[in-house]
Amino acid sequence: MFREEYGRAVAVLVRRFGDIDLAEESVQDAFTVALERWPSAGLPPSPAGWIITTARHRAIDRVRREASRADRQASAAELGASGEPIEESGMPDERLRLIFTCCHPALAPAAQVALTLRLLGGLTTAEIARAFLVPEATMAQRLVRAKSKIRDARIPYRVPEPADLPARLGTALAVIYLVYNEGYLASAGTELSRDDLSAEAIRLGRLMNELMCDEPEVMGLLALMLLGESRRAARTGPAGELVPLAEQDRTLWDRALIAEGQALVRRCLARNQPGTYQIQAAIQAVHSDAPLASATDWRQILQLYDHFMAIAPGPVVAVNRAVAVAEVDGPAAALAVLDRLGLETYYLLHAIRADLLRRLGRHREAALAYSAAIARTDNAREREFLQRRRRDLE
Amino acid sequence: MQHYLLSIYQPAGDPPSPELLEPVMRKVKALVEEAKAAQVWVFNGGLHSTDSATVVRVKDGSPLTTDGPFIEGKEHIGGFMVIKVPDLDAALRWAGNLAQALTLPGYPDSLPIEVRPFRHLG
């Protein structure tokens, strides 16, 4: 209840008072009162409406207390309309505005992520700081600066106009996907994944999909995250070690998440407005179809990667495409593709190269490629996996 | 309404040739007319090169004048526009239009424009 209603209430109060700090503090007050009162008094008929009404009264109290003589008149106008009770059903959902404010391109990406988790997810500053492995003071400062910029530069609180929407939606989806990836595979540290971040990203993805119905890329991103999430139990072994897709016990895959993800893939592809999240989701859907790794339809995956390269060519996509080339045309063909790419700094290129060389029996070169990959990743679990592979060569 | 300063940063060195510059100046003039008609325009202008700049400060209680610019850099402010619009999104749209106008014929990239809100006026 907290995660859902926190964001909803903050969004309503920001809309009403135009002040993010005031909205946050008042909603936190309301939850504190709820924690004190609800256990003995029982749940109110509409808990969400109660939270918003209580938070709004708290906000009005704060404005009254803090108002100087000069702006008392302005706040009086706000107070005038405060009497009516709030019916939760009649409440417009303001969270979409809040998402677009938090993910405004005028804010630095790290600030977009932090604000989204703070205001829409209700995560504490300490939790966000831990998740992104920065000191709490750094994260607190990042949030204060972002909120000041929203206020001083007048970043608007609204859903972008249609002309701006595709680009702005792209930024918002990138924020959600970044949160998901940070949870899926921590970029540094010893824990392979931080489940709560992935769960929060999926929650935001579902929210976005609900609020922006029928946006194919929103559906695509949600499907991509659900299909990735379906493999969580199979992704790590008993000692927490990384298990690659080809070696996963597919009976551990979550069938309900796969079904939901695949249904979304079918729905968004039917719209015929292809985008990068949809294609990535479609690739994952093909993997999810195969009961055994050996039954994977690699031809279809290669076609999807070709399509991906046609609409959004990029080095990272090209590296991943090489994996499909190896399955369709053999490791030698894939190696030739990889070696044309350059990309010396990208760890995945070396990891994939190492695997191809191993399959070609070129063990000495494979060991060098594993070493190159190991040197380029900060994730301890991933390093262990690559070190294990390198040992197996001997 | 919020006032914003749109600063146009240009690289140090000689300006582009008059043939390249002429269509740019024409497009900027058209944009200024559009901004005036929309009651968005407050002020705009282009500056002489930084060679013409002078720095004045008070040092130990007395005015001190030195040959400037204050900061020697690879880029400097070559011109600016002040606009008044409801919010940052509107300011960014005008800045985008200005950047488009400032694109030299045949070049894919424009000069960067920094958008900053005014804290107060006058």
What is the C-alpha radius of gyration for chain B, rounded to an integer number of angstroms? 16
Task: Please report, for residues A57, A198, A229, A235, A255, the alpha-carbon distance to residue A243 in angstroms, rounded to integers and kept in the order given.
Answer: 52, 18, 14, 5, 19
Helices vs strands, H then E, count in chain B:
2, 6
Tell me, what's the pLDDT at A189?
A: 54
- Mark yes or no for CB contact B117/A106 under 8 Å: no
Low-confidence ranges of chain A (pLDDT < 50): 76-85, 89, 192
Residues forming a β-bridge with B63: B58
**Neighbouring C-alpha atoms within 13 Å toward the C-beta of A191:** 13
Residue B92 sits at the chain A interface (C-beta within 8 Å): yes
Tell me, what's the pLDDT at A188?
A: 52
- Mark yes or no for CB contact A152/B117 under 8 Å: yes
Chosen from A101, A154, A157, A161 to mutate, greatest number of chain B CBs within 10 A? A154
Tell me, what's the pLDDT at A77?
A: 47
Tell me, what's the pLDDT at A361?
A: 93
Give the minimum alpha-carbon distance from B67 to chain A in angstroms, rounded to a whole number.
34
Comparing A185 with B91, the larger pLDDT belongs to B91
For B105-116, write each residue's pLDDT tens digit: 888 899 999 999
Residue B1 sits at the chain A interface (C-beta within 8 Å): no
Spatial contact of A37 and A66, defined as CB atoms under 8 Å apart: no
Residue A18 sits at the chain B interface (C-beta within 8 Å): no
Tell me, what's the pLDDT at A194?
A: 66
The rounded percent of chain B whose pLDDT value lies above 70 is: 100
Residue A155 sits at the chain B interface (C-beta within 8 Å): yes
Tell me, what's the pLDDT at A132?
A: 79
For B41-75, write each residue's pLDDT tens digit: 999 999 998 988 999 999 999 999 999 898 888 99
- Mark yes or no for CB contact B88/A152 under 8 Å: no
Give the minimum alpha-carbon distance from A374 to chain B in angstroms, rounded to a whole number.
38
For B22-39, write each residue's pLDDT tens digit: 999 999 999 999 999 999
Spatial contact of A86 and A49, defined as CB atoms under 8 Å apart: yes
- Mark yes or no for CB contact A154/B117 under 8 Å: yes
Residue A321 sits at the chain B interface (C-beta within 8 Å): no
Tell me, what's the pLDDT at A133?
A: 78
Spatial contact of A381 and A242, defined as CB atoms under 8 Å apart: yes
Question: CA nearest A383: which of A347, A358, A357?
Answer: A347
Q: Six-digit token pair at A327?
A: 């399955």
With CA atoms as reference, the chain B residue closest to A150 would be B88
The pair phi, psi for residue B9, each rounded to 5°, is: -95, 130
Tell me, what's the pLDDT at A3?
A: 75
Question: CA nearest A351: which of A244, A208, A206?
Answer: A244
The reported pTM is: 0.82
Question: CA nearest B79: which of B19, B36, B32?
Answer: B32
- In terms of C-beta density within 10 A (0-12 exposed, 13-18 middle, 19 or more buried), how is residue A274 classed? buried
**Neighbouring C-alpha atoms within 13 Å toward the C-beta of A318:** 13
Residue A167 sits at the chain B interface (C-beta within 8 Å): no
Comparing A238 with B3, the larger pLDDT belongs to B3
